[in-house]
């Protein structure tokens, strides 16, 4: 591991911002640190970069404890959410400012981000995308052991966001720099990261490859935060195969089993895109009635009410008539089940 966090914690006065966070980044890996605003992501970045002294835990770089080392001796580059290009320097001077002795020339790095023609320009003369690329070039020119990208896309509009996201992926592949990509946007994280660390309220809620975390979320929070989800309350009525009871309806999932005892109330996290209205007979299904339909462009967001009064969100390719009784089918593969009290604890 190039970078290891061991029980990292930080407290601002009475507020515990980060609590016992441990994870590592392998050489050349692009790790996504994902979580909602205020979950402690930036505190972790600041602690790794050395701009903040954590109140607990250690930061190790290449096996060396650097927790108390100053930022300038860590070989950790940072790109912040807002531009920190120095206004009084040209683009070339900005890149030259941090250029490591054996990293290459300023021209090499400007070429890497296609800014050769803007080398004499001042930051204020650059577009938002050019500023981001100049910052990436400046960060890479230090030949860092770890590159920290702290919400680098948040201040950009949608089109630019996609462009710079692709640029970050390309730069990371070409340079092989170990990267920690911090974001609150799960689509950015899913698109870029080799592996994800999902944060919730200052603690790690899940670690794994993006697709694995999406398909098999380890906690209700991850299920809720990573992609769209809708929840269904049920009770375990059989373990093998898994059978759930919703009101008087039994749903049998022959390919699933559970360790939860019979009679346990559970919360099922379902993907709205996987739910089916008027499903085929073999799919476990519940009677329902569409109560609201919103045209979301590529699909319709259909809210259906079950007989229990509970509501599910379904992404449908067709527009169902509101108020007409139908069935909602529940595919078993992408359903995640948690004890109901665990899900409630994470409902925020």
Partner 1 sequence: MSRPLLSRLRRPDQPALLVPAILGGLFVCYSALPFVAFVSRTGIDNVVAGLSTPAARVAVRNSLLTAPVATLVATVFGVPLAYVLARGSFPGKRVIELLVVLPLVVPPVVGGAMLLTAVGQFTPIGAAAAAAGVPLTDSLLGVVLAQTFVAGPFVVITSRAGFAAVDRRFEQASRSLGYGPLATVWNVSLPLARGAIIAGIMLTFARALGEFGATLMVAYNPRTMPTQIWVAFIGGGIDAIIPLGVALLSVAVVVLAVIQRFGRVPPVIEW
**Binding footprint of partner 1, residue count (CB under 8 A):** 21
The mark string for 71-90 relative to partner 1 (x by CB under 8 A, - otherwise) is: xx-x-xxx-x-x-x-xxx--
Nearer to partner 1, 71 or 218 (CB): 71
Q: In the bound complex, what is the minimum distance in angstroms from residue 188's beta carbon to partner 1?
A: 21
Please check whether residue 147 is in contact with residue 114, taking contact to mean a CB–CB distance below 8 angstroms. no
- Contact window for partner 1 (CB under 8 A) among 95-103, 209-217, 225-233, 269-277: 95-103
Q: In the bound complex, what is the minimum distance in angstroms from residue 88's beta carbon to partner 1?
A: 4
Nearer to partner 1, 24 or 98 (CB): 98
Q: In the bound complex, what is the minimum distance in angstroms from residue 30's beta carbon to partner 1?
A: 19
Name residues contacting partner 1, limited to 113-142 (CB under 8 A). Answer: 138, 142
Nearer to partner 1, 27 or 87 (CB): 87
Tokens 């527009």 belong to 319
Q: How far apart are CA 39 and CA 204, in angstroms?
A: 10
Q: How far apart are CA 177 and CA 146, in angstroms?
A: 7
Nearer to partner 1, 88 or 298 (CB): 88
Reading the block at residue 249, the tokens are 């309806």
β strands within the chain, DSSP E:
3-12, 15-25, 30-34, 56-61, 64-65, 76-79, 146-150, 178-183, 195-200, 203-208, 230-238, 242-246, 249-253, 265-270, 276-277, 285-295, 300-306, 311-316, 326-329, 336-339
Q: Which of 1, 97, 233, 339 binds partner 1 (CB under 8 A)?
A: 97
First-to-last C-alpha distance (Å) of the chain:
34
In sequence order, the 6+-apart residues with CB closer than 8 A to the CB of 298 are none
Name residues contacting partner 1, limited to 32-71 (CB under 8 A). Answer: 49-51, 70-71
Q: Which of 98, 265, 279, 339 binds partner 1 (CB under 8 A)?
A: 98
Nearer to partner 1, 85 or 156 (CB): 85
Nearer to partner 1, 51 or 211 (CB): 51
Please check whether residue 269 is in contact with residue 318, taking contact to mean a CB–CB distance below 8 angstroms. no
Q: In the bound complex, what is the minimum distance in angstroms from residue 97's beta carbon to partner 1?
A: 6
Please check whether residue 85 is in contact with residue 131, taking contact to mean a CB–CB distance below 8 angstroms. yes
In sequence order, the 6+-apart residues with CB closer than 8 A to the CB of 86 are 93, 94, 97, 123
Q: In the bound complex, what is the minimum distance in angstroms from residue 78's beta carbon to partner 1?
A: 5
Can you give the binding site for partner 1, defined by CB under 8 A? 49-51, 70-72, 74, 76-78, 80, 82, 84, 86-88, 97-98, 100, 138, 142
């Amino acid at each position: 591991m190039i970078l290891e966090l061991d029980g990292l914690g930080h407290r601002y006065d009475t507020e515990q911002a980060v609590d016992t966070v441990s994870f590592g980044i392998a050489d050349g890996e692009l790790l996504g640190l994902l979580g909602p605003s205020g979950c402690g992501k930036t505190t972790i970045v600041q602690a790794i970069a050395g701009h903040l002294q954590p109140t607990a835990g250690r930061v190790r770089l290449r096996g060396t404890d650097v927790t108390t080392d100053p930022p300038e001796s860590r070989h950790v580059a940072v790109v912040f959410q807002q531009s920190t290009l120095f206004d009084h320097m040209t683009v070339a001077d900005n890149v030259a400012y941090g250029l490591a002795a054996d990293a290459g020339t300023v021209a090499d790095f400007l070429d890497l981000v296609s800014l050769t023609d803007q080398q004499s320009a001042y930051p204020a003369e650059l577009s938002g995308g050019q500023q981001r690329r100049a910052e990436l070039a400046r960060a890479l020119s230090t030949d860092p052991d770890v590159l920290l990208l702290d919400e680098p896309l948040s201040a950009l509009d949608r089109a630019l966001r996609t462009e710079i996201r692709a640029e970050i992926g390309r730069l990371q592949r070409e340079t092989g720099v170990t990267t920690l990509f911090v974001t609150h946007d799960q689509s950015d994280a899913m698109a870029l990261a080799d592996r994800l660390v999902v944060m919730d309220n200052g603690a790690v809620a899940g670690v794994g490859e993006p697709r694995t975390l999406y398909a098999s979320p380890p906690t209700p929070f991850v299920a809720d935060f990573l992609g769209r989800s809708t929840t269904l309350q049920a009770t375990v009525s059989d373990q093998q195969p898994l059978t759930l009871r919703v009101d008087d309806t039994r749903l049998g999932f022959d390919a699933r089993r559970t360790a939860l005892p019979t009679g346990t109330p559970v919360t099922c996290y379902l993907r709205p895109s996987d739910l089916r209205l008027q499903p085929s007979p073999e799919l476990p299904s519940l009677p329902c009635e569409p109560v609201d339909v919103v045209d979301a462009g590529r699909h319709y967001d259909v809210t259906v009410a079950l007989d229990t009064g509970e509501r599910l969100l379904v992404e449908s390719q067709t527009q169902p008539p509101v108020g007409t009784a139908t069935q909602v089918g529940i595919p078993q593969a992408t359903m995640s089940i948690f004890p109901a009290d665990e899900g409630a604890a994470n409902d925020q």
